[in-house]
Amino acid sequence: MAEDTVSLLSITINFDLHVMQLFAPLYAGGKLVISKPGGHMDPPYMASLLERHGVTFFLTVPSLAFQYYSQPAAKNLTKLRSALHCGEPMPNELPQLIYQQVPEGVVVFNNYGTCLLIAYALKILHFWLL
């Protein structure tokens, strides 16, 4: 995360990963875009938010990501640098779809299962011990 980070808060604060969507960009001096309530269930709306606000960091579950990146607006996501997917298994077809739809430069992350556990354990250790 950096000062030019733009994150889209699309998940409820009842879901633990909202912390990353909400506080990480603000901590780095970046910007936060907040979707309307229930907006995460409206793929054209979400894709237009990503495009309109030049989102650089986006976190969502793979099943919704398929819907968002299938929208025509995905071809205009020139600022998107990090696409993080967690909360459920990520099918092999999702990175392929993202790399086909989104202009060059995006890095796709899968953060699920054992990977999720280890990643968060390391982040917590890094935060508290350093």
For the chain, domain boundaries:
6-129
More confident: 112 or 120 = 112
pLDDT band at residue 111 under the 50/70/90 scheme:
confident
Q: Where is pLDDT greater, at 38 or 121? A: 38
Q: Worst-scoring range by mean pLDDT, 18-22, 39-43, 97-101? A: 18-22
Q: What percent of the chain has pLDDT over 90?
A: 53
pLDDT value at residue 96: 95
CATH node for 6-129: 3.40.50.980
Across the range 49-70, mean pLDDT stands at: 94
- 24: confidence class by pLDDT, cuts 50, 70, 90: confident
Lowest mean pLDDT among 29-33, 109-113, 124-128: 124-128
pLDDT above 70 for 91: yes
Angle at 111 (CA atoms; ends 109, 112), nearest 5 degrees: 140
Compute the radius of gyration of the chain from its Cα atoms.
14
Rounded to whole angstroms, the Cα distance separating 18 from 16 reads 5
Helix axes of 62-69 and 43-52: crossing angle, nearest 10 degrees: 70
**If you search the block for the tokens 């996501």, which residue do you land on?**
77
10 Å CB burial of residue 21 (0-12, 13-18, 19+) is: buried
Q: Residue 47 contacts by C-beta under 8 Å, 6 or more apart in sequence?
A: 68, 69, 71, 72, 73, 74
